[in-house]
Chain A
């Protein structure tokens, strides 16, 4: 506890400080050992979540574009999905799809590690534990009763284990999925 002399001095100074300035000066708070952060921090805190929310939202859009760009650059996925394939015979489509499958799965392997949510064989019985996360496990069919419950695994699910994306490009590069190619002769 601060000494008596100091307390008297601070009390008088605070009286005038509040009367004249409408606030207790930071100096006095420091002397008393009270952090002066709270009030200013609430305003700052209000501003920064807004900015922080803006940044992840912008960044996550850029990352989504980047993921598409990687699948296009190494696997030509966007070209494939944008093309009208209705009139091509299966053999031609099949040959191309094999290549795209090969290259796109390499992209996934390199930049994103996926793993099944439930690592069991499909169409085999599994037990859904108590307290399961509905975002991870979806129940279908006769959904009654309380967990733990027995059911049959119809889909293993996919979960991200690790995301290893390279650095984002600068500026305008962030909205480009694939640059146009111009051959100069």
Chain B
């Protein structure tokens, strides 16, 4: 059965999302984010646009009877989503988080039941593969019980995003997880590409003003728990935009959570120096408060501090209240200098710890400086790329991107984006390239759902003609041909419309009107009438229309005298060829029967709005 919808699924480390579009929708059609009903508290199911990628394995002691009932499952085996995250904070031994990072961790067997990691035996375990499958199955169930004209998700065209750093095995495991979840035929799309397509969606037709074939885009994706860098080269294939991922960094386990924890630790030290005792629960509350205060400081660049209050535990609410403040200095010192310091392009991040014995677990990054990881990516890891010739590099061998695209929740903060651009520009000037201005910094507004939206957009584009590198004509154009009819007094000879430019014909292409000759008036002034339609998008080039109601409107006529020596007022048989130049000018060439003479009619068809902007 042909798919009715195109669905993009972002299976994130911290949050997952689902976006979709109707398969039959036209290029500008809407892409919607699907709401995901989930347990947010005991007895409470609410809609959210994100599904936190947390899985809680409830035991008999966790919830009262019937407290975790879902509309489609009265006795679920696992709790997934916001309630899982909340309850997991209270009872961590039964929580599975970051299953995706485990899926790419080659040091463990990802198909055996090892999660939750290193917890008592009595807690049932599942494998990272199973956990990922559970999230996909949840999303599939949410879709199937939603109102989609009875079309099951398994029958739609589903695109699932994976980090570019996932190796072949991790990708294969992702496909298997989808299969186990009842989605046998998913297409995998890399996240940086999906982020780029999400940016394209927000630009509409204007994207061509900012990106050209040959550009090199650095995708900088810093999320809650992970940082990923990749380089994408913009190229074309058969006139279609093609994004080639030419370099990818490691999947770095470093992100927004580290930053919040760093702030919380510093404030904890401040409070303990003032004589308060902070236990693990209060540290947790401090962590949460720091995140909120940090966001307030990011959003209001004028304010210098934010109050942080920890309420007392138990019923001694006011009695146990502890107050402190998050100062902007703390933010600058810890976040900017700690995580995004200005570094030279040859600085490498500190190696993994040198202690002989280490705990087994997820390979968290040893050096929190994200800019150092970026420097290493651009200088070292790029060298291993098989597409080295496509990467613009400076004299020292550093890859030098022409644009940067931000993705991930952490990059919502303008202050952090500016710092990354500053650091990059420092390196670019050293290598002798132009720095990045505002035009070269690409940011999509909806960073939390961008990857899912981008996947749906890409799925829809490749079904059609893909994202075309060159703009296509936004209307169908016709020229008026006077019919050959006996003269009738008082009645003008009816006009036929000959389609010379079909809708979507690209700039820089030509076409011939097949198998037809028309009479061209030469040697005397003649009116050439042009018409266009925004409604008739299916007319093929060369079709001659007689009756069009109000679907076609006439543009102003062109009065021209086409010269031919010795011939005045003659009607010569000609064939027609049309061409749209790269500047958006329509040229209608009239070629005489013997091919010896050619006359040209010109019309500028670039949309008015573009002309006014220039």
Contacts and interface: CB of A to CB of B under 8 A. Distances in A.
Interface string A85-113: 10010011101101110000000000000
A79 interface: yes
Categorize the interface residue count of chain B. 20 to 34
Contact of A99 (B43, B311, B315, B319): B311
Given A169-B43, A169-B67, A181-B314, 15 more contacts: A73-B41, A76-B317, A79-B317, A83-B315, A83-B316, A83-B318, A83-B319, A85-B318, A91-B323, A96-B309, A96-B317, A166-B41, A169-B66, A170-B66, A173-B64
Contact of B43 (A82, A85, A100, A168): A168
Contacts of B65: 170-171
Contacts of A80: 317-318
A170 B64 contact: yes
A79 B316 CA distance: 7
B45 interface: yes
B64 A95 contact: no
Contact of A96 (B41, B67, B315, B318): B318
B318 A93 contact: yes
B311 A96 contact: yes
A88 B311 contact: no
A88 B321 CA distance: 10
Contacts of A79: 314-315, 317
Dominant SS at the B interface? Answer: loop
B50 to A, nearest CB: 17
Contacts of B557: none
B64 A88 contact: no
Dominant SS at the A interface? Answer: helix
Interface of A: 73, 76, 79-80, 82-83, 85, 88, 91-93, 95-96, 98-100, 166-173, 181
A92 B318 contact: yes
B318 A169 contact: no
Contact of A88 (B42, B46, B318): B318
Contacts of B319: 83, 88
Nearest to A180: B314
Nearest to A98: B309
A171 B67 CA distance: 11
B42 A99 contact: no
26 contacts: A73-B41, A76-B311, A79-B314, A79-B315, A79-B317, A80-B318, A83-B316, A83-B319, A85-B318, A95-B307, A95-B323, A96-B318, A96-B321, A99-B309, A100-B311, A166-B46, A167-B43, A167-B44, A168-B43, A169-B66, A170-B64, A170-B65, A170-B66, A170-B67, A173-B43, A173-B64
Interface in B36-77: 41-46, 64-67, 69
